[in-house]
Amino acid sequence: MSNIIAEVDVLVIGGGTAGPMAAVKAKEKNPAAKVMLLEKAHVKRSGAISMGMDGLNNAVIPGHATPEQYVKEITVANDGIVNQKTVMAYAQESFNMINQLDRWGVKFEKDETGDYAVRKVHHMGTYVLPMPEGHHMKKVLYRQLKKARVEITNRYMATRLLLDEHGAIAGAMVLDTREGTFGVIRAKAVILSTGAAGRLGLPSSGYLFGTYENPTNAGDGYALAYHAGAELSGIECYQINPLIKDYNGPACAYVTGPFGGYTANSKGERFIECDYWSGQMMMEFYKELEGGNGPVFLKIDHLAEETISNIETILHTNERPSRGRFHEGRNLNYRTGMVEMHISEIGLCSGHSASGVWVDEHAATTVPGLYAAGDLACVPHNYMLGAFVYGKFAGESAAEYAAGRTLAPVDAAQVAQEAARVLGPLNNAEGFTPTQVEYKLRRFVNDYLQPPKVSRKMEIGLQRFAEIGADLPFMSATNPHELMRAMEVHFIRDCAEMAARASLYRTESRWGLYHYRVEHPEKNDADWFCHAQLKKNAAGDMTCFKRPIEPYIVPLDDAEKDAYNRMRIVKQAAVA
């Protein structure tokens, strides 16, 4: 068939954080394997860490924390709904990965004795490792990709996975986003590392690309996995973050907290015990924002000059370096004013919350030959280091799986159907523009899905999403760039439907604001202490079902279980 553009052993889709690690580790595992890294943007500057990061949010470092303590912390932070085995596998590999990155040249903060200088931000333990010089992450990864001789294919996006007759992976179908041409990549194993569903809700600015997440991540991998028949999990556990108002990036309490900064109300008072992002924390944030003491601010104006200029350097050169010019435009100086904050749009992301593609402790999904790592893989609160660790697991697992196999035959019917879908908008001389459809879709997401969640609203949302689904074939694209956006609109619509159905399915409230259902305001462990899964059934319909939680390997006592429910600061009555 003429549109086959490559044949590889392992295809890694998404070259941000987890993807490069997966590709390098697949090569290390089997140097003879042909490994391709496919990236929608350019691996030199793609993904969430395109400008680096200012710290590891979840470093498990001997002497500061144990894997058992970390598993407990995340189990409680995620309101009990975790497959502890996956979190434990991360925690046990965390320190090795930090040392590996350190050897590769990533600069972490160390104390006088050369030990990693970990800081306390979480509610219970100590896990934040600052990287004040973390802006060169992508360079470090790029060097390793070149050294490992990974084949890099930039400016291509995957649009669907290709399956064999048994439903196992046979490759992927892709769009050249510069040329607007369609192609097939045959692969024995595929790793998905396409990041979060970051273009789901509309930021309150109304600006489509002013998202918290890198907007290249439109939820592609969630839709790719779904259409391939994979199980997804915890989709109702949305990602919602406390951010700088309008700018919509982190303020950032993790950097400033260890220096004495904190989240405050309009009176400049603390109202939460702990600034670590969780649904429970977001609920208190939301209440304060909407209440008489709102809005909410990041307060650092009380700190010493030296500390503030140090914070300024970190925040204005790393991660989201344009923060500085935003504040400048608003005449805000950290020394004399507090940073106004707001709540982000909703998204799906297991890096921050728990919504993702179901994986086991080897990064395997429920589809043979398909692996997932990073923000889209369901390992709660996995963040950047989790993306690296699961990237490693995925790379090694995929290389092993591919070793014993031959390429599956290509099913011409699947390819023809997908080619028609992908190229359709180029053939429509008249039609809706991808921007128009995306704007309307994401406004509906805000109108109907944003917590507090109301059943009837979510049902209406589903009707609207179905109507937009019927509009999709009538989008028109005048060039390859618009065609890429059109394909992303398909992914966003799929994620919106998943978010609504998963939220309707779990008839209780859990994870604070992330899944606050007005008609079911209480947590109901009797019926809902389980994972809520979502997949495409044999008839092609989206279905939800329960998956029992495996017995904990690190048990919790009752006081620990409740720790994240005591977020709000309770004022001591003044003693007379």
Ligand X SMILES: Cc1cc2nc3c(=O)[nH]c(=O)nc-3n(C[C@H](O)[C@H](O)[C@H](O)COP(=O)(O)OP(=O)(O)OC[C@H]3O[C@@H](n4cnc5c(N)ncnc54)[C@H](O)[C@@H]3O)c2cc1C
Q: Interface residues with ligand X (CB under 6 A)?
A: 13-19, 38-41, 46-49, 53-57, 157-158, 193-195, 212-214, 216-217, 220, 249-250, 319-320, 351, 374-375, 383-385, 387
Contact 20, 140 (CB under 8 A): no
Binding part of the chain for another protein, among 19-27, 53-61, 213-221, 395-403 by CB under 8 A, reads 213-221
Q: Write the DSSP symbol of residue 58.
A: S
Is 353 a binding residue for another protein by CB under 8 A? The answer is no
Q: Are strands 530-536 and 296-299 parallel, antiparallel or unpaired?
A: unpaired
Nearer to ligand X, 13 or 532 (CB): 13
531, containing H or E segment: strand 530-536
What is the rounded distance in angstroms from the CA atom of residue 87 to the CA atom of residue 90?
5
With CB cut-offs between 5 and 8 Å by kind, which of another protein, ligand X, none does residue 177 bind?
Answer: another protein
Interface pick for another protein out of 10, 51, 91, 376 (rule CB under 8 A): 51
Bridge partners (DSSP) listed for residue 544: 534
What are the structure tokens assigned to 398, written together?
Answer: 């995929």
Assign 215 to helix, strand or coil.
coil
Bridge partners (DSSP) listed for residue 242: 343
Interface pick for another protein out of 108, 116, 142, 247 (rule CB under 8 A): 247
What is the rounded distance in angstroms from the CA atom of residue 38 to the CA atom of residue 15?
7
Nearer to another protein, 258 or 324 (CB): 324
- Burial-class residue 1 by CB neighbours within 10 Å (0-12, 13-18, 19+): exposed
Bridge partners (DSSP) listed for residue 325: none
What is the rounded distance in angstroms from the CA atom of residue 411 to the CA atom of residue 415?
7
Nearer to another protein, 333 or 543 (CB): 333
With CB cut-offs between 5 and 8 Å by kind, which of another protein, ligand X, none does residue 44 bind?
Answer: another protein
Nearer to another protein, 171 or 203 (CB): 203
- Burial-class residue 546 by CB neighbours within 10 Å (0-12, 13-18, 19+): middle
Q: Categorise residue 348: left if φ over 0, alpha if ψ from -120 to 50, beta otherwise.
A: beta
Interface pick for another protein out of 31, 215, 268, 409 (rule CB under 8 A): 215
Assign 485 to helix, strand or coil.
helix
Nearer to ligand X, 320 or 510 (CB): 320
With CB cut-offs between 5 and 8 Å by kind, which of another protein, ligand X, none does residue 374 bind?
Answer: ligand X
With CB cut-offs between 5 and 8 Å by kind, which of another protein, ligand X, none does residue 384 bind?
Answer: ligand X
Is 46 a binding residue for another protein by CB under 8 A? The answer is yes
Interface pick for another protein out of 163, 484, 486, 534 (rule CB under 8 A): 484
Interface pick for another protein out of 143, 146, 325, 566 (rule CB under 8 A): 325
Angle, to 10 degrees, between the axis of helix 480-505 and the axis of helix 434-449? 20
Q: Are strands 296-299 and 339-343 parallel, antiparallel or unpaired?
A: antiparallel
Smallest gap from Cβ 421 to ligand X, in A, equals 14
Closest residue to ligand X using C-beta atoms:
16
Q: Write the DSSP symbol of residue 366.
A: S
Is 181 a binding residue for another protein by CB under 8 A? The answer is no
Task: List, as one string, the DSSP characters of 254-308.
Answer: HHHGGGT-EEE-TTS-B-BS--S--HHHHHHHHHHHHSTT-SEEEE-TTS-HHHH
What are the structure tokens assigned to 498, written together?
Answer: 């998943």
Is 211 a binding residue for another protein by CB under 8 A? The answer is yes
Nearer to ligand X, 83 or 214 (CB): 214
Smallest gap from Cβ 218 to another protein, in A, equals 11
Interface pick for another protein out of 181, 205, 446, 455 (rule CB under 8 A): 205
What is the rounded distance in angstroms from the CA atom of residue 514 to the CA atom of residue 352?
11
With CB cut-offs between 5 and 8 Å by kind, which of ligand X, another protein, none does residue 49 bind?
Answer: ligand X
Q: Write the DSSP symbol of residue 460.
A: H
Contact 324, 178 (CB under 8 A): no
* φ and ψ of 89, to 5 deg: -60, -40
Is 216 a binding residue for another protein by CB under 8 A? The answer is yes
With CB cut-offs between 5 and 8 Å by kind, which of another protein, ligand X, none does residue 430 bind?
Answer: another protein
How far from 111 is each of 96, 114, 135, CA to CA, in Å? 19, 5, 20
Smallest gap from Cβ 531 to ligand X, in A, equals 20
Question: Token pair 């065609």 is at which residue?
Answer: 483
Smallest gap from Cβ 556 to ligand X, in A, equals 24
**In 293-437, at which residue ranges do the beta strands (DSSP E only) sit?**
296-299, 339-343, 356-357, 370-372
With CB cut-offs between 5 and 8 Å by kind, which of another protein, ligand X, none does residue 195 bind?
Answer: ligand X
With CB cut-offs between 5 and 8 Å by kind, which of ligand X, another protein, none does residue 326 bind?
Answer: another protein
Binding part of the chain for another protein, among 141-149, 320-328, 393-401, 491-499 by CB under 8 A, reads 320-328
What are the structure tokens assigned to 104, written together?
Answer: 């590769």
With CB cut-offs between 5 and 8 Å by kind, which of another protein, ligand X, none does residue 476 bind?
Answer: another protein
Is 143 a binding residue for another protein by CB under 8 A? The answer is no
Instruction: Give me the helices (H) in 105-208, please.
Output: 137-147
What is the rounded distance in angstroms from the CA atom of residue 308 to the CA atom of residue 336?
11
Smallest gap from Cβ 117 to another protein, in A, equals 27
With CB cut-offs between 5 and 8 Å by kind, which of ligand X, another protein, none does residue 51 bind?
Answer: another protein
Nearer to ligand X, 383 or 432 (CB): 383
Nearer to another protein, 146 or 566 (CB): 146
With CB cut-offs between 5 and 8 Å by kind, which of ligand X, another protein, none does residue 127 bind?
Answer: none
With CB cut-offs between 5 and 8 Å by kind, which of another protein, ligand X, none does residue 345 bind?
Answer: none
Interface pick for another protein out of 58, 75, 194, 248 (rule CB under 8 A): 248
With CB cut-offs between 5 and 8 Å by kind, which of ligand X, another protein, none does residue 17 bind?
Answer: ligand X
Interface pick for another protein out of 234, 431, 451, 461 (rule CB under 8 A): 431
Q: Is the C-alpha dihedral spanning 219, 221, 222, 224 positive or negative?
A: positive
Q: Which residues bind another protein (CB under 8 A)?
A: 41-42, 44-47, 50-51, 155, 177-178, 205-211, 214-216, 246-248, 320-322, 325-326, 329-330, 428-431, 476, 478, 481, 484
